[in-house]
Structure 1
Amino acid sequence: MGDMEDDAWQMVEKKGNQFVVNDEPFYVNGFNTYWLMVFAADDSTRGKVSEVFKEAASVGLTVCRTWAFNDGQWRALQKSQAVYDEEVFKALDFVVSEAKKYKIRLILSLTNNWEAYGGKAQYVKWGKDAGLNLTSDDDFFSHPTLRRYYKAHVKAVLNRVNTFTNITYKEDPTIFAWELMNEPRCSSDPSGDKLQNWIEEMAVFVKSIDPKHLVEIGLEGFYGPSTPNRVQFNPNTYAQQVGTDFIRNHQVLGVDFASVHIYADSWISQAISDTHVQFTKSWMEAHIEDAEKYLGMPVIFAEFGVSTKDPGYNSSFRDTLISTVYKTLLNSTKKGGSGAGSLLWQVFPQGTDYMDDGYAIVISKSPSTSNIIALQSIRLAMFNSVCSWKCHWGCKKKNALETILYHDEL
């Protein structure tokens, strides 16, 4: 896959339906490890950060999504509103500098919809402590003071100067993109207006501080009221009542690409079945089509996986599910479509089982899964290097590529 020299380490940009680096396509095979910053904050666990990057790089993974927030909780980055723990910030600096070492780019998420690591509930708590009259965690999206709190955090992270590299985050090509929030939902307003308004304000705000990096919302991909003809693709009826609206949310100034999550085992049924695989395929194909037809942007399937705790789970089902995701993406990639990549939930190094939510993949302990991941990485790396944007896949190279990419089924 070739070593990238430091001077070639450039920002990821978007061109039509694709990501590009230096005007060459950049298709993504990546992963999630959300807890890197808190592990880096303690000398006894810091080595695990390097370990996970090293293992991921060994199977060709090039992008990692992780948290750039920890609000008011254990090893908090933001101890109280706008008060930061410098040691934890240095830990995040370490994560960014270490990622660069292993040529892995980062999608950094800026807060959480859920209570883990603080998130919107913590912002609401800070607001109440300051005497605001707040009735719901969803006030995070609408109350002007809480919006100011969030913006202050965005500003602190984007303007941070890395103590290891001396590069400001907003200037660092190691960062692939900013994510506004992990899985935003606003169930108190099923119309979707409240969340839409927040996305419109925050996407432009992030861009005003950092016009160079890409921005995405962090959505799960549920269809809402603006597209009644698409809600049939939702995993259940509840999905259209959580205040998100996939197409409308992504038609916002400042949003560069779409994000979708895939959890058949928590959305449809916990028990493993073929339905999970069918849903995964149709869910992906619907969103790839939308990204091409309505959005004109790339889409990343930013979380997908299956839990070892599910009834009927076995590792060959996990391999089938991952292969389905990869193959569906390749079908889009070979046509120059919007399917731009995927991020496994989640890759762990050895010895971190106590953090496992059931979805952890330890590369060194999972040879069959690792082979599938590595094969996808090789295929995407070939696409990235053999094709240049200018030929737009209408070239003589296509047949040779097809032979290499598809000589064996995934």
Structure 2
Amino acid sequence: MLGVLSLSGLLAACSGKSGPEGAGSAQAGVAPAAASPTAPTQQSGFVSVQGTHFVLDGKPYRFAGANFWYGAYLGAPDGVGDRERLRAELDQLKAAGIDNLRVLAMSEASGFKRGVRPAIMGEPGVYDEQLLLGLDYLLAEMAKRDMKAVLYLNNFWQWSGGMSQYVAWATGGSVSEHDPDLTGDWNGFMQNSARFYAIPEAQAWYRDAIRTVIGRTNSINGMAYVDDPTVMSWQLANEPRPGSDADGKANADVYVRWIDETAGFIRGLAPRQLVSTGSEGEKGSAGDMDLFVRAHTTANVDYLTFHLWPSNWSWIDHKDPAARLESGLATSLDYIDRHIEVAGKLGKPIVLSEFGLNRDQGAYDPASGTQARDRFYQAIYDRVLQRMQAGDAIAGSNFWAWGGRGRTSNADWMWAPGDPFTGDPPQEAQGLFSLFDSDASTLGIVSGHARAVHALPR
């Protein structure tokens, strides 16, 4: 197991100045950063890593992307999916310059009050073929539009079942006793979810799920997933954390080892595709940048990720984003800069793979204003572009989240089974962070940034 090293010590070890040598095992020591083990050939269509940048067919690859967690659900056959909506929204995103989508690729049936239904995994080892067909359809349609996918294979949070459901299956317990939408105890939920990393049976089921998705052959175009350059990256999970903010550091060693070993397992299955963690960065590492670095030093992780949620983190007011917008923006931009600097020192690219802000006055209605959000998006995009222009380690971003034409008619704004999907997953009000197809001003900002990114020298 790794000992507790300082941030400076870890960075020195990664640069080869000091520290143990190793091949990426969290038990063996801190390994130097490395590019993909099998570099795709020129014109392969696969994204690879060279130093702190992505490369695609011999040219720098930078992207402006979106979170589209429900893409596989829309791609499912009639009864769950809406393929006409999927095609139309992919066309709209592509027209706006969005060429990278981050998508949920595995969900677990659960008793969580706000869990998505149906789920891809009904019980360990049992999978819903209709939803897997939806993932096939999504990837086939993305390939037609020259878009790249980042597919995450688990979730720390309750809305798709996730790690806590694996814990319940393995222990014979119920998720209800740790359901934060029932108990209000988020720290207790997070500590329970983090038990997942150390339960061998849960890990065996998780690896079966990984093999099921990565080992799949697309029923639409006949292409094996591992041979499909549409898949840029496999992501271990959505926002994996070591535990709660208060107690998460106690799980640091097992968490770091889980990342290293799981990333290595995925790399062995899909050597031409990239592997990432899905981490939120410092905030998702028990507030400890040293731990974030520890978790990403392994050569089995190709690039870093981080997320930005200023209203969730009380930097900006949920109910009135305009009230403390400027001070919250200053803190947000500093958060971006610090993560880019860490990535540069580790010698790996980094992606801002989630960011978002509430609508004006904390409203959910798609007809409500987005003035503060637009200011936020523009400032974040300006900083990302500035750092890209400087040649720094930032390689792309995915806003959270595309809501498209999804709408709810429920008085409480919450999703119910059978409702259209939006960018807000079931545990959040439908409209909280969604960018709807009617949000013309925000979509214009997104499109302007995408054009600027694509215009950078290649």
**2:301 paired residue among 240, 245, 255:** 255
Q: Which residue of 1 aligns with 2:249?
A: 190
Aligned partners of 1:55 and 1:76: how far apart in 2?
27
Aligned partners of 1:306 and 1:381: how far apart in 2?
25
Q: Deviation at 1:367?
A: 2.3
Q: Which residue of 2 aligns with 1:275?
A: 327
Of 57-66 and 186-195, deviating more is 186-195
- The letter for the 1-side match of 2:83 is R
Q: Which structure shows the bigger proportion of residues in helix conformation?
A: 1
Alignment of 1:1-12 (within 5 A): 10-12=45-47
Tell whether the 8 Å contact from 1:32 to 1:65 is kept in structure 2 after alignment: yes
**2:386 paired residue among 331, 336, 344:** 331
Unaligned runs of 5+ in 2: 1-41, 111-116, 174-190, 409-414, 416-421, 423-429
Alignment of 1:121-200 (within 5 A): 121-129=164-172, 136-187=192-243, 188-191=247-250, 192-200=252-260
Q: Deviation at 1:309?
A: 6.8
Alignment of 1:6-405 (within 5 A): 10-43=45-78, 45-73=82-110, 74-129=117-172, 136-187=192-243, 188-191=247-250, 192-222=252-282, 239-240=287-288, 245-268=291-314, 269-270=317-318, 271-272=320-321, 273=324, 274-293=326-345, 295-308=346-359, 311=362, 314-353=369-408, 355=422, 356-363=430-437, 365-383=438-456, 386-387=457-458
What is the SS of the residue equivalent to 1:136? helix
Aligned partners of 1:49 and 1:215: how far apart in 2?
26
Aligned partners of 2:287 and 2:86: how far apart in 1?
35
Aligned partners of 1:309 and 1:120: how far apart in 2?
33
Runs of 4+ in 1 over 3 A off after TM superposition: 309-314, 351-355
- The letter for the 2-side match of 1:352 is R
What is the SS of the residue equivalent to 2:433? coil
Tell whether the 8 Å contact from 1:52 to 1:347 is kept in structure 2 after alignment: no
Q: TM-score, length-normalised on structure 1? A: 0.82
Q: What is the alpha-carbon root mean square deviation over aligned residues?
A: 2.5
Unaligned runs of 5+ in 1: 1-6, 226-237, 388-410
Q: Deviations over 1:117-148 (max 9, x none)?
A: 11001111221249xxxx93322101111111
Q: Deviations over 1:193-242 (max 9, x none)?
A: 121111011011110111111111010011699xxxxxxxxxxxx634xx
Tell whether the 8 Å contact from 1:259 to 1:299 is kept in structure 2 after alignment: yes
Of 304-313 and 21-30, deviating more is 304-313
Alignment CA distance shift 1:337-1:244 (3 Å): closer
Number of residues paired by the alignment?
A: 361
Aligned partners of 1:9 and 1:46: how far apart in 2?
28
Alignment CA distance shift 1:210-1:277 (3 Å): same
Q: Percent of aligned positions with the same letter in both sequences? A: 26
Aligned partners of 1:343 and 1:59: how far apart in 2?
13
